[in-house]
Amino acid sequence: MHNLIKNSFFVLFLCLLLLGFWLSSDFKTISAGIAIFLFGMLSLQKGFRFFAGGMLEGILRSATNNLFKRLMFGIVTTTVMQSSSLLSILVISFISAGLLDLAAGMGVIYGANLGTTTGAWLVAGFGLKVNIAGYAMPLLVLGVLLQLLKQKSLQGTGHILLGLGFLFLGIQYMKDGFDAFKDNIDLSQYAMTGMRGLLTYVLVGIAVTVIIQASGATMVLIIAALASHQISYENALALAIGSNIGTTVTAVLGALSADIRGKRLAGAHVLFNVFTGVLAIVFLQQFVWAVDHLCLYAGIANDDYTLKLAMFHSVFNLVGIIIMMPVSEPMARFLEKVMQEKRATVEMPRFLNASALQFPDTAVESVLQETRHLYENATHIILRAIGLHRRDVYSEQDLNEIVNKYKIIKEYDIDEAYERNVKGLYSAIIEFISRARFTWEMRQSGRLHWLREANLKLVEAVKGVKHLQKNLLKYNRSYNQYLTREYHRIRYQVAMVIRELENIKSIEVVNELPLLSLDTLKGKVREQRQSANEIIENLIREHKISPEAGTSLLNDNAYVYDIQTNLLRMAETVFINYAVDSVKAEKELALTDHELLEVIKPSPVVEHEQN
Amino acid sequence: MNKIRLLSRLQDFFNADDKEKKKKAKDIADVIEKLQAKERKINQMLDDCKDEEMKKALQLEANIISAQIEKGLSVLESL
C-alpha cells in the first residue's frame, strides 16, 4: 500500500515535469539547472568520501569534549562540503559507537545547520554577480582528467572539482532559466502579502525542498528567482523558512533505516528546524529589522535582496542555536524518554551501525564495544549454567563460599539463551566485520581480524559450558562426596577466571599491569588443570570414584580448560590496549608458554647434565 | 630558527634511537617496580595465610611474578 502511494506520487510528479517541459522551454532550463546542481552535490560528496573517512573522524574524535569545537566542526565541515548528510552519518556512527552522546551530537548538527546557510552567501554574493559558468568549464575539464588517474587522492580531488563545476553550472542554468522565464510569465503576480502569504510560501518552501531533497538546491532556486524579480523579498523569506523546515524530511527519511540513536538524532534535527522555523514566522518583522541593521553595518546595499536573504537565513539559524544550545541536555533526555528502543526477544547489537563502516577507527571501536557486550552476555550464560550469578561472582565475597551457597544447580536452557543473547549479536558482529574488511584494506583490518577471533573464542566458551552442563547436573547431586567436591572445584575454576577477568577489565583503565595479570591468570589455569588431572587419577586409582565417573571428570576438566583458555584469549584482544606504552613494556616481560610451564612445574635437575 | 635550536633539533634527530631505548628502559623499569610491589604484597599474604590450598595458589602467583621480574631485568640489561 505504502509503495503504491509512493509510486503513484512519483508517476504524477513525472507527468507534471513532462508537461512543464512541453509547455515551457525556460522551465526545462530551470529544471536542468536543479538536476545539474544536485548532481554536483552528489559528486562533491563522493569526492569528500575519498578523504573524509579517516580525516573527519580524527577531527571529530578530538572535538568531542568541547561544545564550541563541536559546533565549529559542524559549521566548517558543512561549509566546505556543502552538504550535511555525510556529517549526519558520521555523527550517528559516533553516537552508536558510544564516542558521543546525543546532546553532543546535537551540537554538531546545529553547527551543520548554520554551515548550510553559507551556500546562500556564496550564491548571492558570488554566483549571481559573475559569469559563474566561466569558472565551471575549467573545473569540469580538470575534474574529469583527475578522475581518470589511478591515485585515490587525485580521483577524490577530481570528483570535488567536478562537483564544484556542476554546482556552478547548475546555478548558471537556474539563473538563465529565471531570466528568460520573466519575459514570458511573470510569477511575481502571484506574490502574496500578510500572514496568508507568509504561511502559503512557507508551505511551498517545504514542498519544494521535500521534492528536491536538498535545502541547498532550494535556496539557490529561491535566490535565482529573487534575483530575477520573479518572487518578492517577503515571499523569499517565507520560502527560506519553509526550506529550513522541509530539509528535516530528508533527515527523517534517512533515519527510517537507522537504529534508535539515528532516529533520536533525526528527532533532534526536526525539533531544532521546526522550532527555528516557528520562531522566524512569529518574529519575522523583528528578524527583518535585525537583518536590515546588520546589512547596513556589513555594507550590503538596502536593495541587494539576495544578500539580505542570505543574512536572514544565517541569522534565524544562529538565533535558533543560541536558544537551543542550553536546552540540548534536557532535549536529549526527552528524546531518549520518548523514543525508546523496542525490547527485542532476541538481543540486538547496541554499538554496530552501518554508517560506521565508512570510518575505520569508529568501525573498530564499534566492534570492540559490541564484543564487550557479547562478553557480558556470554559470561552471564556460563555462570548461570554452572548455577552461579554475576552479582555474586563480581562481589568481594570468597568464591568458595559462593559456590557452596548455591549447591543445587538449576536446569538452565543454554540453547535458548544462546539463541537469544549470543547468536544474533555474534552474527551481527561477523557480518559487520566482513563488510568492513571488504570496504578497506588497512591497519584496522588486522585489528578486526583479531576481534573476529575473540568473538569466536567467546562463542566456543559458551558451547564448552553446554558440554559441561550435562555431567554437572548429573553428578552435582551425587552421594559420592569426592565426585561432588570435584564438580564443586570445576565450578570454582570457571567462576575464578570470570572474576579475575572482570578485575583485569577494570585495571586496564587504571593501567595496573593488565597484560602481566593475564599472564599470571594463564599460569593459574594451567596449574589448576595439571593438579585436577592428578587428583582425578588418584581418585580412580584409590577406587574413590568409578572409572566411568573418572573419565567423565577428565573430559569435563578438558572442557573447563577450553572455556578458560578461550576466555583468556578473548581477553588478550578485547581487554588489553596494546597502543599504551606501559602495555608495550609489559609485553617484554610476559612469559612464553615454555617459561610459564617452567614456573608451574620446574624441570627436575638431571644429574648427568651437571657432570 | 637560530643555530642553537637547529643544532639541538639535529641532535634530537640523530639520537632518536637512543631516546627510544631510554624511554623503553624507563617503561620496563616502571613495570618491574609495580611487579615488585605486587610481589611484596603477595608474600605478605602468604605469611598471613593459613589455608593450604590458598597458600599454594599464592605461591604460584608469587613464582610467576618473580619470573616476570627476572625476565624484565634481563631485558633491561640487554638494552
Distance of CA A565 to the CA centre of its chain: 32
- The answer to whether residue A395 is domain-embedded is yes
A160 within some domain: yes
Q: Taking the CB of residue A430, how many other CB atoms lie within 10 A of it?
A: 15
- Angle between the N-to-C axes of helices A102-122 and A260-282, in degrees from 0 to 180, rounded to the nearest 10: 50
> Residues A84, A204: one domain?
yes
Cβ separation of A513 and B63 shorter than 8 Å? no
Residues A269 and A385 grouped into a single domain: no
Residue A426, amino acid: Y
DSSP secondary structure code for residue A350 in this structure: S
Share of chain A above pLDDT 90, in %: 17
Assign A605 a pLDDT band (cuts: 50, 70, 90): very low
Q: Is the pLDDT of residue A158 over 80?
A: yes
Query: For A458-478, what is each residue's pLDDT tens digit?
Result: 999 999 999 888 888 888 777
Nearest one of A176, A189, A272, A261 to A232, comparing CA atoms: A189
Pair (A95, A186) in one structural domain = yes
Q: What angle do CA A152, A158, A159 make, to 5 degrees?
A: 95
How many Å lie between the alpha carbon of B2 and the closest alpha carbon of chain A? Answer: 33
**Do A271 and A394 fall within a single domain?**
no
Q: Counting beta carbons within 10 angstroms of the beta carbon of residue A39, is it exposed (0 to 12), middle (13 to 18) or buried (19 or more)?
A: middle
Question: Is there a contact between B60 and A524 if contact means CB atoms under 8 Å apart?
Answer: yes
pLDDT attached to residue B67: 92
- In single-letter form, the type of residue at position A222 comes to I
User: Does the distance separating the beta carbons of A584 and B27 come in below 8 Å?
Assistant: yes
The residue among A338, A373, A394 that closes a domain is: A338
C-alpha to C-alpha distance for B28 and A581, rounded to whole angstroms: 10
pLDDT digits (tens, 9 = 90+) for A515-566: 888 889 999 999 888 889 999 999 999 998 888 888 999 999 999 999 999 9
pLDDT over threshold 60, residue B19: yes
pLDDT given at position A457: 94
Chain center to CA of A457: 26
Give the tens place of pLDDT for each residue, A402-427: 988 888 888 888 888 898 889 889 99
Residue range A144-155: average pLDDT? Answer: 83
Is the pLDDT reported for residue A383 higher than 90?
yes
Round the CA-based radius of gyration of chain A to a whole number and report it: 33
- The pLDDT of residue A576 is 86
Is the CB of A76 inside 8 Å of chain B's CB atoms? no
**Shared domain check, A579 and A524:** yes
Q: Is position A397 within any domain?
A: yes
CA dist., res. A153 & res. A170, Å (int): 25
End-of-domain residue from the set A338, A367, A395: A338
Largest CA distance in chain A: 115
pLDDT band, residue A377 (cuts 50/70/90): very high
What grid cell was written down for A276?
A: 527555528
For B34-54, write each residue's pLDDT tens digit: 999 989 999 999 888 888 888
Would A64 be classed as within a structural domain?
yes
Distance to chain A for B34, nearest Cα, Å: 8
Task: Answer whether residue A508 shows pLDDT above 80.
Answer: no
Q: CA-nearest residue of chain B to A515?
A: B31
Domain that holds residue A29: 22-338
Contacts of A460 (CB under 8 A, 6+ apart): A562, A566
Which of B28, B63, B65 has its CB closest to that of A585?
A: B28
Q: Does one domain contain both A293 and A381?
A: no
Phi, psi of A299 (to 5 degrees): 80, 20
**Boundary of a domain, candidates A272, A307, A338:** A338
Contact residues, chain A, for B65 at CB < 8 Å = 516, 520
Q: Is the dihedral of CA A142, A148, A153, A159 positive or negative?
A: positive
ipTM summary value: 0.79
Lookup: cell for A462 = 559458551
Q: Which residue has the higher pLDDT, A584 or A52?
A: A584
Q: Under an 8 A CB cutoff, do B34 and A589 touch? A: no
Residue A90's CB: how many other CB atoms inside 10 A? 26
Subunit contact B31:A591, Cβ cutoff 8 A: no
pLDDT above 60 (res A87): yes
Q: Is the dihedral of CA A470, A471, A474, A477 positive or negative?
A: negative
Nearest to A354 by CA among A418, A438, A248, A229: A438
Distance of CA A534 to the CA centre of its chain: 51
Which pLDDT score is estimated for A606?
Answer: 45
* A344 in a structural domain: no
Check whether residue A183 and residue A289 sit in a common domain: yes
The confidence score (pLDDT) of residue A497 equals 93
Cell of A561: 580448560
| pLDDT confidence bin for A108, thresholds 50/70/90 | confident
Q: In terms of Cα–Cα distance, which of A599, A572, A598, A574 is closest to A586?
A: A572
pLDDT category, A302, cuts 50, 70, 90?
Answer: confident
Q: What percent of chain A has pLDDT over 70?
A: 88
Q: Tell if the CB–CB gap between A589 and B72 is shorter than 8 Å.
A: yes
Q: What is the pLDDT of residue A608?
A: 43
Percent of chain B topping pLDDT 70: 92
Contact by Cβ (8 Å): A45, A163: yes
| CB-nearest partner of B67 from A512, A584, A591 | A591
Q: Are residues A296 and A391 in the same domain?
A: no
Q: Does residue A454 have a pLDDT over 90?
A: yes
In a domain, A248, yes or no: yes
Report the residue of B60, B61, B75, B76 to disrupt the A interface, i.e. the one with the largest count of A CBs within 10 Å: B60
Q: How far apart are CA A477 and CA B57, in angstroms?
A: 28
pLDDT at A607 > cutoff 50: no
Residue of A nearest to B72 (CA): A589
Residues A314 and A412 in one domain: no
Q: Is residue A564 part of a domain?
A: yes
Q: What is the mean pLDDT of residues A570-595?
A: 86
> Residue A591: which of B28, B34, B71 has the nearest Cβ?
B71
Name residues 581-610 of chain A within 8 A of B (Cβ): 581-582, 584-586, 588-591, 595-596, 598-600
Does residue A133 share a domain with residue A218? yes
In this predicted structure, the answer to whether residue A25 has a pLDDT above a threshold of 60 is yes
Q: Which residues of A touch B75 (CB under 8 A)?
A: 588-589
Residue A73 lies in a domain: yes
- Separation of alpha carbons A420 and A416, rounded Å: 6
Average pLDDT over residues A209-237: 83
User: Which residues from A are below 8 Å from B57, CB to CB?
Assistant: 524
Residues of A in contact with B69 (CB under 8 A): 589
- In this structure, the answer to whether residues A268 and A408 fall within a common structural domain is no
Q: Where do we find the cell 638431571?
A: A606
- A163 band by pLDDT with thresholds 50, 70 and 90: confident
**Residue A560 shares a structural domain with residue A503:** yes
At A152, give phi and psi (nearest 5°): -60, -45
**Residue among B47, B42, B49, B48 at smallest CA distance from B63:** B42
Q: Is the CB of residue A398 less than 8 Å away from at least one CB of chain B?
A: no
**Chain B: residues touching A (Cβ < 8 Å):** 23-24, 27-28, 30-32, 34-35, 38, 57, 60-61, 63-65, 67-69, 71-72, 75
Taking the C-alpha atoms of residue A421 and residue A412, their distance in angstroms, rounded to an integer, is 14
Instruction: Answer whether B68 sits within 8 Å of A581, measured CB to CB.
Output: no
Average pLDDT, chain A: 83
State how many domains chain A has.
2
